[in-house]
């Protein structure tokens, strides 16, 4: 399944990206970075990536997530990942990116608090 990106502007400078499909080597995955950068240019203060419908992530996807986290941090904005399913979350744990990027069990939690998914 190709990657699909749905962008929603929420209140108070929050941008939510709902991703579905595979975040892997390929053209569609490269679309994540410019979408995040555009949201920052539009004034986003918090970017939340909803991974509930992501079925697979590979090392390319991990690199994209790390790059986006770095760009958002440089812009003094917040970056959170929500709803990563077991197989996707396992890749983040193996790479230890889950110790750097805040993960939340669902979008509501990502929007409401600053705790991390353990």
pTM above 0.85, yes or no: yes
In the chain, the percentage of residues whose pLDDT exceeds 70 is 94
Which segments within the chain are labelled E, that is strand? 4-10, 14-23, 46-57, 78-82, 103-104
Architecture of domain 4-112: 2-Layer Sandwich (3.30)
Model confidence over 60-77: pLDDT tens digits? 999 999 999 999 999 999
Provide the pLDDT for residue 113. Answer: 59
Dihedral of the CA atoms 27, 65, 82, 90 (nearest 10)?
100
Residue 118 reports pLDDT greater than 70 = no
Provide the pLDDT for residue 2. Answer: 86
Give mean pLDDT, residues 46-56: 97
Phi/psi of residue 116, nearest 5 degrees:
-115, 150
């Amino acid at each position: 399944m190709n990657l699909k990106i749905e962008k929603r502007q929420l209140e108070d400078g929050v941008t939510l990206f709902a991703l579905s499909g595979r975040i892997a080597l390929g053209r569609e995955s490269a679309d994540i970075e410019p979408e995040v950068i555009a949201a920052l240019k539009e004034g986003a203060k918090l970017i939340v990536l909803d991974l509930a419908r992501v079925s697979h992530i590979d090392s390319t996807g991990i690199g994209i997530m790390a790059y986006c986290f770095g760009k958002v941090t440089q812009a003094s904005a917040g970056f959170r990942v929500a709803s990563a399913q077991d197989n996707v979350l396992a890749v983040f744990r193996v790479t230890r990116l889950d110790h750097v990027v805040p993960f939340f069990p669902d979008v509501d939690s990502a929007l409401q608090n600053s705790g991390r998914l353990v």
